[in-house]
Structure 1
Amino acid sequence: MPRIVDHEERRGQIADAVERLIAAESLDSVTVARTAEEAGISVGLVQHYFASKDEMLLESFRRVRNRIEARVAARRQRSERAGARIERMLLDGVAELMPLDPARRSEGRVTLAFTARTFGNPGLAEVLRSSNANLRAQIEQALRNALACGELPEPVGYELEAARLLAFVDGLVLHCHTGQRPLSARAAHAMVAAELARLLPGPCDRSR
């Protein structure tokens, strides 16, 4: 009996091949032929699922950002169940954006390559805009919760503060990936931890 093809799985297989090529080489190295070779399928099959290279790139970037957002959300949920401080919850969440292990380092390299292409590419730009908006919303809600439980001593401009924190992390990530010594990924993580400790110094009382 012939195997039933899962079309979403096949699209994912192709998008993953695009991501591997970018991580190992560069975004310019991605072609339909190279992607087919990397995915272990025919050029015709790639073209069946994606009409152009731009469509492949868009799908790959969307999947990368969705994966990051899902990990951040999962971290938050685990921390909430464990009753962790919101300071810790935020640190664990933004750590998913940082090159703290080979997988996240590779993912960050791919994200930066795509980010550079958002100029003049509305599709890629929208993926990044939407993803960052989601991450900022998660940070903003965490800050509101921190005020409610006492970790945040007084109200702040939540939307602006969330944007500032995400921009701070993004800047550190860029420096890590471009080899701006002496900033290592671990040092960058420690800097984020120090900033969150400064912002959220209060005791956490969830009974409030």
Structure 2
Amino acid sequence: MPRTADHDARRSQISRAVCTLIAEGGMRAVTVARVAERGGVSVGLVQHYFPTKDDMLLRAFHEAGSRIRARVGEHIRAGSAHRRPISAILLDAVCELLPLDEERRAEFRVARTFSARSLDNPALADIDAETAEGVRRDIAQAVHNGKECGEVDPGADPAVTSLRLAAVTEGLAARLYRAPEHSVVPADDTATEILRAEIAAVFTGHCRQYG
């Protein structure tokens, strides 16, 4: 295996261990010794790749984000292949941000831990803010595309509507994570229906992109 590939593989192996520990017990559960044990590597190797906890958290945050982006990309590819309207593809995409199963719940806890840590770290805060803005921009692009294909009213403002949809998604995700077993919004089809209704309020037309 080339050195660069081995380097990336080791970093990913360690970051997956960090993600698992954060999902299980938050940042307090992350120690060099525990990461090394969970990742099946030496303490020295962990310290070599990640000198500080923030370094480990940042990589774990990127690792979780990469998995989400990969799933969203698959929704887009599958939706286009099956000629689904943009609104349906967008719904599937934003649902990847909700902690509706163990994998997404673990990813959400990593993101939540990162956001909390960023309150005292300006460098992490910039990354956290840019990540959130990236989600909003992606939604805005979907709204823009919806205007072009007839699903969204020509007078709709993508910036405003994307902010609204991003805020609803973020708030719903936090609500589901906080107390899924006691929440008035159960982590099932009801959560999806809430987002479906919000998207339907923006995507009020019919798709013309497939003729």
With normalisation by structure 1, the TM-score equals 0.91
**Letter matched to residue 199 of structure 1:** V
Q: Residue by residue, what CA displacement relative to the aligned partner does 1:3-28 show, whole Å, maximum 9, x if unpaired? A: 76601000001111110000011111
Deviations 1:70-127 (A, max 9, x none): 3223322321222111110110110111122221122112221222222011232233
Contact 1:18–1:60 under 8 Å retained in 2? yes
Question: 95-104 vs 122-131, which deviates more?
Answer: 122-131
**Relative to structure 1, is the Cα distance of residues 29 and 23 closer, same or farther in structure 2, using a 3 angstrom cutoff?**
same
Distance 1:97 1:134 in 2: 13
Alpha-carbon spacing, 1:160–1:73, altered in 2? closer, same or farther (3 Å): farther
Q: Does the 8 Å contact 1:23/1:110 carry over to 2? A: yes
**In structure 2, what is the equivalent of residue 203 of structure 1?**
206
Percent identity of paired positions between Structure 1 and Structure 2: 39
Alignment check: 8 A CA contact 2:58 2:114 kept: no
Which of residues 169, 173, 182 in structure 1 aligns to 2:184? 182
Task: Give the Å deviation of 1:160.
Answer: 2.2
In the TM superposition, residue 143 of structure 1 has moved relative to its aligned partner by 0.7
Alignment gaps of 5+ in structure 1: none
The number of aligned residues is 206
Equivalent in the alignment of 1:58: 58
Is 2:25 the counterpart of 1:25? yes
C-alpha displacement of 1:197: 1.6
CA RMSD, Structure 1 to Structure 2 (Å): 1.8
1:82 aligns with 2:103: no
Q: How far apart are residue 54 of structure 1 and its match?
A: 1.8
Following superposition, which runs of at least 4 residues in structure 1 exceed 3 angstroms of deviation?
A: none
Counterparts of 1:112 and 1:54, CA distance in 2: 14
Amino acid at match of 2:185: L
1:207: Cα distance to partner? Answer: 5.8
Going from structure 1 to structure 2, the CA distance change for 1:17 and 1:207 (only over 3 Å counts) comes to closer
1:133 and 1:155, CA in 2 relative to 1: closer, same or farther beyond 3 A?
same
Does 2:166 match 1:163?
no
Could you say which residue in structure 2 is the equivalent of 1:42? Answer: 42
Deviations 1:141-180 (A, max 9, x none): 1111111111112322212211221111000000011116
Q: Secondary structure at the match of 1:151?
A: coil
- In terms of mean alpha carbon deviation, does 170-179 or 32-41 score higher? 32-41
Partner of 1:16: 16
Alpha-carbon separation, structure 2, partners of 1:207 and 1:45? 52
CA–CA distance in 2 between the matches of 1:18 and 1:137?
29
Q: Check the 8 A contact 2:152/2:204 in 1, yes or no.
A: yes
CA contact (8 A) 2:26 2:109 kept: no
1:81–1:54 distance in 2 versus 1, CA, 3 Å = same
- Of 191, 194, 200, 2:194 maps to 191
- Greater displacement, 13-22 / 42-51: 42-51
CA distance in 2, matches of 1:114, 1:122: 12
Other-structure match for 1:143? 143
In structure 2, list runs of 5 or more residues that go unmatched: none
Question: Secondary structure of 2:17's match?
Answer: helix
